[in-house]
């Protein structure tokens, strides 16, 4: 998860609450920045979990950290016996990652990483709330992300902008247009979530395309960060406004928003 987040955001906020951890990136959408909301249920990841927020009513902690630092620290824990993450103060606030490794002689050694963080004050918490999901014009299941990634990587060599369009017949197109060339990749029979089709079909023809033009690099960041194909991958398009990707790995949900280019 930390590797995936590091590919999407240089710095991110980490929200800690009694039952969930969230990685959050909230670039201002108006400025063309993408935003991210990644959610983990703490009980799926930790055998012990203790936290104390600001107060009983606001039992949360918000931190800002460099994503790559966390990913690098956790990389050393791949074959660890135990891993402990705690909030510490080493002359400045840190997220301390303690990794218990087993050596060849079966004795254990502890490797400790102190990751500098900023504690986000309570007055700024509202900037990191879960994003509102707009009503989409078309919702469609995505093709295999590895395939999609190789297509988008080739398209990036031609243009910085990509049009993503889809309809309620399970068709998704990726298009780039320049003065010299127009390239379109078609995906067929992807399927649409049943509820989305019912809601939208009342005033929308199944063949009618909803489209949005986005920064191709933002999409490639998302696709490059996926190490394994998710159990569910949805694309929701609000015509000419925003594209919302909703990915579900076994116990991690990831929402990623890319605004339309003006």
| Positions of E strands within 147-202 | 161-166, 172-177, 182-187
Q: Are residues 122 and 1 in the same domain?
A: yes
Q: What is the pTM of this model?
A: 0.88
Q: Which residues contact 193 (CB under 8 A, 6 or more apart)?
A: 139, 141, 234
Q: Which of 79, 103, 127 finishes a domain? A: 127
Instruction: Please give the Cα distance from 184 to 201 (Å, whole number).
Output: 25
The β-bridge partners of 25 are: 36
Q: Is residue 132 part of a domain?
A: no
Residue range(s) defining the domain that contains residue 46:
1-127
Q: Which of 101, 127, 153 finishes a domain? A: 127
Instruction: Please give the Cα distance from 237 to 140 (Å, whole number).
Output: 9
Residue 70: CATH number of its domain: 3.70.10.10
The tokens for 159 are 């243009």
Instruction: Please give the Cα distance from 70 to 92 (Å, whole number).
Output: 17
Q: Are residues 81 and 179 in the same domain?
A: no
What does each C-alpha distance from 200 to 194, 208, 213 come to in angstroms?
A: 10, 11, 21
Q: Is the Cα torsion angle 205, 206, 207, 211 positive or negative in sign? A: positive
Kindly give the confidence (pLDDT) of every residue in the chain, 262 residues in length, as a single tens digit, with 9 standing for 90 and above: 898 899 888 899 999 999 999 999 876 544 557 889 999 999 999 999 999 988 888 899 999 999 999 999 998 888 888 999 999 998 899 999 999 988 777 788 889 999 999 999 999 998 888 888 778 899 999 999 999 999 999 999 999 999 999 999 999 999 999 998 999 999 999 999 986 545 555 567 888 999 999 999 999 989 988 877 788 999 999 999 999 999 998 889 999 999 998 7
What is the three-class DSSP state of 96? strand
Q: Are residues 193 and 88 in the same domain?
A: no
Number of domains present in the structure of the chain: 2
Q: Which of 68, 102, 127 finishes a domain? A: 127
């Amino acid at each position: 998860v930390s590797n995936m987040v590091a590919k999407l955001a240089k710095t991110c906020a980490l929200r800690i609450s009694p039952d969930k951890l969230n990685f959050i990136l909230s670039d201002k959408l108006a400025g063309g920045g993408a935003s991210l909301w990644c959610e983990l249920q703490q009980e799926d990841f930790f055998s012990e979990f203790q936290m104390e927020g600001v107060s009983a009513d606001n039992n949360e902690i918000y931190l800002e950290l460099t994503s790559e630092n966390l990913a690098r620290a956790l990389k050393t824990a791949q074959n660890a016996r135990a891993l402990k993450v705690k909030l510490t103060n080493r002359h400045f606030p840190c997220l301390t990652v303690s990794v218990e490794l087993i050596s060849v002689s079966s004795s254990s050694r502890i490797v400790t990483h102190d990751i500098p963080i900023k504690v986000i004050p309570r007055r700024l918490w509202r900037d990191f709330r879960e994003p509102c999901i707009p009503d989409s014009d078309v919702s469609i299941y995505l093709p295999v992300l590895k395939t999609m990634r190789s297509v988008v990587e080739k398209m990036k060599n031609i243009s910085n902008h990509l049009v993503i369009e889809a309809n309620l017949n399970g068709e998704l197109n990726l298009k780039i247009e320049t003065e010299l060339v127009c390239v379109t990749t078609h995906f067929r029979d992807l399927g649409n979530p049943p509820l989305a089709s019912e809601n939208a079909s009342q005033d929308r023809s199944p063949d009618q395309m909803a489209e949005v033009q986005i920064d191709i690099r933002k999409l490639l960041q998302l696709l490059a960060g996926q190490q394994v194909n998710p159990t569910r991958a949805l694309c929701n398009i609000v015509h000419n406004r925003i594209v919302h990707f909703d990915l579900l790995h076994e116990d991690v949900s990831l929402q990623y928003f890319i605004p339309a280019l003006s």
